[in-house]
Amino acid sequence: MYQKRQKWKFPLLFSNSIRLYTIMMCMIVFLNPKILIGQETGNRSMLTGLECVPAGAITIIDFEDSKAGLPLKIVVGRQFKYEGQKTSSGQWTWGIGTNVGSTLSNKWQATFTPKNPGTKEYKGKGIIPATNLPFNNSDFGLTRGKVKVSNAMSETGDADVKVFFIKNDTNKVHSMTEPNWFYYWKKSPIIQNLLTIPGFKLYDIENCQWNPSPDTVTLNLAYLPVPKFAPGVANEYGNCEFNAINMESRDLKTSCGAPISETVIIAYEPLKTKINIGDGCGYTKEMKDGTIIDGIHVMCSTVIHEVEHAIIECEVWQNGYSNLLDSDGDGYNDDWERANSSPMFMFTVPIDKVTAPFDAYGVDKGTGAPQTYNSKLLGNKLYSVGTEYEEFRCRTKEVNSKHLFPMIDIDDWSFDPSGNFQGKQWK
């Protein structure tokens, strides 16, 4: 029967000669490595039983959250264990932060509590206070995760540790209302790059003429604290407030002496150039093609969806908004409606109809009253053509943008203590 061989060990008979003995044996092994060969274990092909590290070096063998495994990971606001391999007594100094040459740094302002001050300072428990959450999402991960240690014998060591934030905690350092996941995920370059849209032509009220080209605009993101996410029910994931009727307008008859009253848009209203992100974006949802996504992928897909609503608005009013171009008041330029009408989405304007249906987005097609749709019932012509058209297009855009999900994972440094919706970098 096979029996695992014990790796060779060399007892040290003289404790006061431990350093000299170790150095001598390391030199011998270096010159003739065949002297010490042990059982192949894991990814090691040779075990010597000796730790032939540079003289004065400290190996950091533990620096991690209780729920973490390799590679080393810690979470802002949660206690972690730390330990150096050497066990010399006397004062040890630990720090974690940006690697600045050989200088010991503690940019996270972590506190380190040794197991036994004076005799067992090589190990203990530490924490980065939640009050030290950074402004930038890019500070997480390995960016500021260099751990350095030194002791009373001038021995030093370092290791790389990934730093995370608690996903659902409220960010009380930089925002008193936003959960950490929203505050940091919105800073992802991928999400930020999605927010700039073409815009439409604005009216130059000083010169009483249209601007020569559309004015681009960058949308903002805002967090909707209610309703809270609940599993198994329809959740609020987001909405877009970028709409021509929400912008700053003027009547050309009053402002420019036009012969008749005509309302035009002269500027974007800052408070309305935004997308609201619902609490559900921190959890999970089902996409149009049946794909179940979670975490930062939900927020990314929701931003894609809501931005597409804004892009549709830019297309509808590309050459400038005028109420005279929307004869039925449904929010769509009459010419755009005719150009985009199809058997699947039958837009109509007053000269094409006498009564209902109403085409506006989010209204009952028979009465024109505000109506909330059920995503499971879309495609059955139960809702206004504006609702059906925009939701079909926005949900299709989500599905066609799934290639962005693996790319955005690098921006997710969240940690979910429950483990239900764990961060992409923690897994």
What are the pLDDT digits (tens) for 324-348? 999 999 999 999 999 999 999 999 8
- pLDDT at position 99, please? 53
CA distance 278 to 299: 9
Which pTM value belongs to this model?
Answer: 0.83
Q: How confident is the model at residue 56 (pLDDT cuts 50, 70, 90)?
A: low
Identify any residues that bridge with 120 across adjacent strands, giving them in sequence order: 116
- pLDDT at position 20, please? 40
What are the pLDDT digits (tens) for 311-322? 999 999 999 999
CB 27 within 8 A of CB 20: no
Burial of 238 from C-beta contacts in 10 A (0-12 / 13-18 / 19+): buried
- pLDDT at position 103, please? 54
State the average pLDDT over residues 180-196.
98
The answer to whether residue 365 scores a pLDDT higher than 60 is yes
The answer to whether residue 401 scores a pLDDT higher than 80 is yes
CB 272 within 8 A of CB 246: yes
What are the pLDDT digits (tens) for 348-357? 887 766 666 7
Q: How confident is the model at residue 85 (pLDDT cuts 50, 70, 90)?
A: confident
The answer to whether residue 284 scores a pLDDT higher than 60 is yes
CB 410 within 8 A of CB 381: no
- 21 — phi, psi (to 5°)? -65, -45
What are the pLDDT digits (tens) for 96-145? 986 544 455 678 999 999 998 888 899 999 999 999 999 999 999 998 89
State the average pLDDT over residues 59-67.
87
Helix (H) or strand (E) holding 338: helix 334-340
- pLDDT at position 3, please? 36
> What percentage of the chain carries pLDDT values higher than 70?
83
Q: How confident is the model at residue 233 (pLDDT cuts 50, 70, 90)?
A: confident
Provide DSSP, 115-161.
EETTTEEEEEEEE--GGG--S-GGGTBTTT-EEEEEETTS-EEEEE-
CA distance 268 to 137: 29
Identify any residues that bridge with 276 across adjacent strands, giving them in sequence order: 222, 239
Give the residue carrying structure tokens 């050989």: 102
